[in-house]
């Protein structure tokens, strides 16, 4: 189990070819696709990590994120439902270390012949900046 105070673990960030964001200055940019590990997504869904800035919180669903002031209590479940794209297999964007970790994990899971889901990265696409 990771440190509860640790921010979400970002596995990779890429530009999303299908979505753009418009900044407050009117600039149009590609939306970032942020890949998080599955445990981090679980912590976001449970309200212990801010869905906007990925900082760990002292309690589940505080009224506002202490760092970016995102209204977690009111808005996070909706924000998560809108932005969470599900679990994906990350290919070339992962580091060698991550790849090795996946390989080890999968080998272990195979060996145990468990029906459990392997620990895969999840994709996160913020639509508002």
Binding site for Zn ion (CB under 5 A): 50, 52-53, 65, 67-68, 70
Closest distance between Zn ion and the C-beta of residue 90, in Å?
24
Nearer to Zn ion, 68 or 93 (CB): 68
Nearer to Zn ion, 54 or 90 (CB): 54
Dihedral pair phi/psi, residue 38, rounded to 5°: -60, -35
H/E stretch holding 110:
helix 96-112
Q: Which two tokens stand for residue 90?
A: 């990350």
Closest distance between Zn ion and the C-beta of residue 114, in Å?
35
Cβ within 8 Å of residue 88, ≥6 positions away = 35, 120, 121, 122, 123
The residue among 119, 127, 114, 45 whose CA lies nearest residue 82 is 127
Nearer to Zn ion, 40 or 90 (CB): 40
CA distance 24 to 98: 35
Closest distance between Zn ion and the C-beta of residue 69, in Å?
7
Closest distance between Zn ion and the C-beta of residue 120, in Å?
25
Nearer to Zn ion, 50 or 90 (CB): 50
């Amino acid at each position: 189990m990771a440190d509860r105070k640790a921010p979400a673990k970002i596995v990779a960030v890429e530009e999303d070819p299908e979505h753009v964001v418009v900044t407050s200055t009117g600039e149009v940019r590609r939306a970032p696709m942020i890949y998080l590990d599955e445990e981090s997504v679980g912590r976001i869904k449970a309200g212990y990590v801010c869905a906007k800035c990925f900082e760990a919180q002292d309690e589940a669903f505080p009224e506002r994120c202490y760092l970016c002031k995102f209204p977690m209590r009111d808005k996070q479940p909706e924000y998560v439902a809108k932005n969470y794209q599900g679990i994906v297999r990350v290919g070339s964007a992962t580091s060698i270390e991550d790849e090795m970790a996946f390989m080890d994990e999968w080998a272990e899971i195979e060996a145990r012949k468990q029906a459990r889901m392997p620990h895969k990265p999840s994709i996160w696409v913020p639509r508002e900046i």
